[in-house]
Structure 1
Amino acid sequence: MSTASEETLADIWRNLESMLAPIITVRAWAEDEIRAAQQRHHESGRGPIWHASSLVRPTLGRLHTSERLYRAHAAEILDRVAEGENTRPATAAEMICVLMESSLPAPLNSAAAYLYMRLFAQLFPEDCRQLVASPTELDAYESVHGAEADEYESDLQRKLTQAWRGPMA
């Protein structure tokens, strides 16, 4: 026979587990991406990529819940670390998250929609090839909306810059 306090303790434990599960899942994704980046960049031991775990924390809601977006985000940051590039500007995945959320209340204008497609093609080229009938479709959008999409991308990178994601000490 269980007591009320034992049931309450069990409830608290279940609640704690359910709250921590998403954090543990994202942490596992991060560790996978760090290992993959170390292999891509031939880093062994505890080099800059290994030390970059604090830089790959999710910044936007969808990065907490979408494994593919999170992994693309982490890989981009880790590649920047390996190449000695600035890690502060927004990643393509972060920009996709903003464009995705922006498209929910109202359709994106053509240049923003093209930027969304361009970023999607950059992150998920196989999926894009399945969705877009031919590469010339994207080329046509580029010729008409490319310059404006470039401006949107520049604005998003600036507005989504993460100052805390600077060089590690």
Structure 2
Amino acid sequence: MDWAEKEIFQLTSVYPAEADTLYHSFPLLRPTHGRMSQEFVYHAHCRELLDRVVKGTDTRPGTAAEVCCLCGEVSAVTPMRSAAIGLYARMWIAAFPDIPVFGDRHFHHEALYGSTIDDLEADARHRLAVAHRTVGAIDCTGRHHGETVHCKYAGT
């Protein structure tokens, strides 16, 4: 919970006009994979979902962190083809830009297999989609964390 709250707080400071929506987006931030017990993985997952909330885009498709979790599982049991490694690299860079793992090799995968990687990404995000991961209607009591607030959703 603390990690999710930290991400909400950080994004609220960047988008103060969206503070109420971000606060009520907390239910979206459920971990979906065991590797999300690692803080950096879970933070990346939350950041992407909250960014989608702010932008008003679909929160159901898999996140880059979720795709990385999938690629990690696959790579542990079978060799991955070049396009799949390119997908892993693309998603890793999107989710964890401050943790370089692939170096410049991802440029070669993108140059050779970019359109295949696009297709793999779309498919993976679709397959990892969480149907109920939507903000939906917000009904606020006018209290956040036990404090009375002027929430734009209060009394709706």
Q: Same fold (TM over 0.5)?
A: yes
Alignment of 1:160 onto 2:128: yes
Alignment of 1:51 onto 2:19: no
Alignment RMSD (CA, Å): 1.6
Tell me how many residue pairs correspond in the alignment: 137
3-state SS of paired residue (1:165): coil
Tell me which amino acid in the other structure corresponds to 1:108: M
Task: Select the structure with the greater relative contact order (CA < 8 A; seq sep ≥ 6).
Answer: 2
Cα deviation for residue 109 of structure 1 reads 1.1
Q: For residues 160 and 44 of structure 1, do their structure 2 counterparts lie closer, same or farther at Cα, with a shift above 3 Å needed?
A: closer
Alignment of 1:41 onto 2:15: yes
- Name the residue aligned to 1:120: 92
- Between the aligned partners of 1:123 and 1:167, the Cα distance in structure 2 is 22
Alignment of 1:142 onto 2:142: no
Cα deviation for residue 44 of structure 1 reads 6.8
Max radius of gyration: which structure?
A: 1
- Between the aligned partners of 1:131 and 1:85, the Cα distance in structure 2 is 29
Cα deviation for residue 131 of structure 1 reads 5.0
3-state SS of paired residue (1:35): helix
Q: For residues 44 and 79 of structure 1, do their structure 2 counterparts lie closer, same or farther at Cα, with a shift above 3 Å needed?
A: closer
Identity of aligned residues (%): 36
Runs of 5+ consecutive residues of structure 1 not aligned to the other structure: 1-26
1:43 and 1:49 in contact (8 A); partners too: no
- Between the aligned partners of 1:120 and 1:141, the Cα distance in structure 2 is 13
2:59 and 2:133 in contact (8 A); partners too: yes
Cα deviation for residue 168 of structure 1 reads 2.0
Cα deviation for residue 53 of structure 1 reads 0.5
Runs of 5+ consecutive residues of structure 2 not aligned to the other structure: 138-156
3-state SS of paired residue (1:81): helix
- TM-score computed with the length of structure 2 as normaliser: 0.81
**Relative to total residues, which structure has the larger helix share, 1 or 2?**
1
3-state SS of paired residue (1:96): helix
Cα deviation for residue 122 of structure 1 reads 1.7
- Between the aligned partners of 1:148 and 1:61, the Cα distance in structure 2 is 28
Alignment of 1:92 onto 2:64: yes
